[in-house]
Amino acid sequence: MKVTFYGQNSLALEIGNKHIIVDPFITGNDLSKDKVDINDLKADYILLTHAHEDHVLDAEAIAKNTGATIVSNYEIANHYGDKGFEVHPMNHGGSWDFDFGRVKYVNALHTSSFPDGKYGGQPGGFVIETDGGNIYIAGDTALTLDMKLIPMRTKIDLAVLPIGDNFTMGVDDAILASDFIECDRILGCHYDTFGYIEIDHDLAKKKFANKGKELLLLEIGESVEL
């Protein structure tokens, strides 16, 4: 599995010959809008953790370009289904075998309204199990004890955790989350996009390293392999 970072919580996953976009927020992100052309993105699926604008802004445009199926909670899936997009609704604790792997929609502690205030269901994260490794994408969340449930079912090889603080966990709680999920290889997300969530990169990496963990902070468009 190849994981490419596009800023905030936007990711591209390449799993075999399938392309998955997660939480596309590119045209509205000053850090990525000049570096990534959403018209170049390939997508068979678009996974949305919750309805906030910094996670769904470019979902419609990419779905229109690609015909991708939007996978999210019931309310978000229905929101896009009503607009004519292909959707797959899920809800917390449920898993589904897609043609790229098994996806579980797991708990996140956050909120999930659409930009116009419409109810966007409850926020979540995704645990994705594939032949090429397993990834946990936490979405926007506080540190929760529920994270301890994840390794009871799935050995996580890479976890994408928010580290920007203020709206989500910060670095210190993300280190505890890494303990809870029993995964020491963390890709940081949800930082630097706005003033509220700017972080000290070196300090964040040092704090993870002091606990024997690796914090990856990728450039926009940079990739890691699982």
Binding site for Ni ion (CB under 5 A): 52, 140
Phi (first) and psi of residue 72, to 5 degrees: -165, -170
Instruction: Select the binding partner of residue 58 from Mn ion, Ni ion, none (C-beta < 5 to 8 A, by kind).
Output: none
Euclidean distance between CA atoms 161 and 183, whole angstroms:
11
Of the two residues 10 and 134, which places its CB atom closer to Mn ion in the complex? Answer: 10
Euclidean distance between CA atoms 38 and 138, whole angstroms:
23
Minimum distance between the CB of residue 226 and Ni ion, rounded to whole angstroms? 25
Minimum distance between the CB of residue 52 and Mn ion, rounded to whole angstroms? 5
Of the two residues 1 and 161, which places its CB atom closer to Mn ion in the complex? Answer: 161
Between residue 9 and residue 68, which ones bind Mn ion under the rule CB under 5 A?
Answer: 52, 54
Minimum distance between the CB of residue 223 and Mn ion, rounded to whole angstroms? 22
Of the two residues 101 and 188, which places its CB atom closer to Mn ion in the complex? Answer: 188
CB-based contact 126:156 (threshold 8 Å): no
192 binds Mn ion (CB under 5 A): no
Between residue 115 and residue 174, which ones bind Mn ion under the rule CB under 5 A?
Answer: 140
List the alpha helices (DSSP H) in the chain. 53-56, 59-66, 74-81, 150-153, 171-180, 201-210
Q: What is the DSSP letter of 171?
A: H
Minimum distance between the CB of residue 191 and Ni ion, rounded to whole angstroms? 13
User: Count of residues binding Mn ion (CB under 5 A)?
Assistant: 3
Of the two residues 77 and 197, which places its CB atom closer to Mn ion in the complex? Answer: 197
Of the two residues 54 and 129, which places its CB atom closer to Mn ion in the complex? Answer: 54
Of the two residues 140 and 192, which places its CB atom closer to Ni ion in the complex? Answer: 140
Minimum distance between the CB of residue 16 and Ni ion, rounded to whole angstroms? 30
Minimum distance between the CB of residue 168 and Mn ion, rounded to whole angstroms? 7
In the complex, the residues that contact Mn ion under the rule CB under 5 A are 52, 54, 140
